[in-house]
């Protein structure tokens, strides 16, 4: 690893840490920009001359630069003039966060950007880069109670639209982008109901294991991990969805807010099953004869931990 790449990785890692540990919203914004500056060269790490990573990186740079400008403008108005501007500043601040996270209505860039990236840069963009915006979102919910209903509707619509986008995908990269839109909608709902970080942590671990299996070309277990992203009861991501639903039932919000994400999860199940079936046919039962220690342990954990936890 060159010294330049090591410097960029350090910037990317320290950015969210600066945002989380700071008590000033401006330093939090600086942490987001540090992480953004560090991940751009990592997204360009593909050495192939004919590669879509350059185009995807430019799209990601333009979208994130726009959302960072809106975040700075909305933050200046929201935190410095909270009573003069009213709901406009909160809406600007909220839209900039949704655009950064790839949540409806700022979801349009995610599938096209993800489709041109390698596995590791895609994993970093969909997991690590979303930590500081989610902290900002929790801060927004705690300081503005009337935004809760709007975020619940937008989170449910994001889960539904992510399922609709995934139905039209035939490649794995854009499908994971659509899956990220759907799961980000659930996480946004978790910022209101609670258990946001539990759901996000389980999703990050599941996606990381999927990327590892894809790099190892273990197609059968990759298909199992794709199926685990659906949140079916045998898999561990069901715990994240169940924790958010349990918190939602315990609060005083209307039950109608739960209908959209549940319907989106049912629609997402169709393309998860489609990709699982294609991986299953591609492997042709070869993985059953060469399961290693990591593969066996990971399968046991992701199939059994939900039942153990529920008991």
Residue 145 pLDDT level (bands cut at 50, 70, 90) = confident
What per-residue confidence (pLDDT) applies to 304?
A: 52
Q: Give the phi and the psi of residue 131 in degrees, each rounded to 5.
A: -65, -50
Residue 308 pLDDT level (bands cut at 50, 70, 90) = low
DSSP secondary structure letter of residue 234: T
Contact 154, 188 (CB under 8 A): yes
What per-residue confidence (pLDDT) applies to 294?
A: 46
Provide the mean pLDDT of the chain: 83
Range of the domain at 212: 3-310
What is the Cα gyration radius of the chain? 19
Indicate the number of domains in the chain: 1
Mean pLDDT of 144-159: 88
Asked whether the predicted pLDDT for residue 275 surpasses 70, the reply is yes
- Summarised one tens digit per residue, pLDDT across range 172-221 is 989 999 999 999 999 999 999 888 999 999 999 999 999 999 988 888 88
Contact 103, 154 (CB under 8 A): yes
SS3 of 170, please?
coil
- Summarised one tens digit per residue, pLDDT across range 84-136 is 666 788 888 899 999 999 998 888 899 989 988 889 889 999 999 999 999 88
């Amino acid at each position: 690893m060159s010294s330049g790449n090591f410097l960029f990785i350090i910037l990317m890692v320290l950015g969210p840490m600066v945002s989380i540990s700071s008590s000033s919203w401006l330093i939090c914004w600086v942490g987001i920009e540090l992480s953004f500056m560090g991940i751009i060269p990592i997204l360009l790490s593909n050495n192939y001359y004919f590669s879509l990573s350059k185009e995807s990186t430019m799209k990601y740079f333009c979208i994130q630069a726009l959302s960072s400008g809106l975040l700075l403008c909305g933050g200046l108005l929201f935190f410095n003039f909270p009573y003069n501007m009213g709901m406009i500043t909160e809406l600007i601040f909220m839209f900039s966060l949704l655009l950064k996270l790839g949540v409806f209505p700022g979801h349009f860039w995610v599938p096209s950007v993800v489709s041109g990236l390698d596995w590791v840069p895609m994993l970093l963009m969909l997991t690590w880069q979303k930590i500081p915006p989610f902290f900002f979102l929790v801060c927004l919910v705690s300081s503005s109670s009337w935004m809760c209903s709007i975020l619940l509707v937008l989170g449910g619509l994001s889960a539904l639209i992510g399922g609709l986008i995934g139905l039209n995908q035939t490649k794995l990269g854009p499908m994971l982008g659509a899956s990220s839109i759907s799961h980000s909608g659930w996480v946004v709902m978790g910022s209101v109901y609670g258990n946001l970080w539990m759901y996000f942590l389980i999703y990050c671990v599941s996606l990381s294991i999927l990327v590892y299996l894809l790099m190892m070309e273990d197609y059968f277990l990759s298909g199992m991990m794709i199926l685990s992203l659906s949140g079916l009861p045998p898999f561990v991501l069901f715990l994240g969805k169940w924790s958010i639903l349990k918190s939602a039932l315990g609060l005083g919000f209307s039950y109608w807010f739960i209908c959209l994400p549940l319907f989106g999860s049912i629609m997402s199940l169709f393309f998860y099953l489609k990709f699982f079936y294609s991986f299953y046919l591609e492997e042709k039962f070869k993985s059953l004869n060469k399961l290693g220690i990591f593969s066996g342990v990971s399968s046991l954990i992701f199939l059994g931990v939900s039942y153990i936890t529920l008991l």
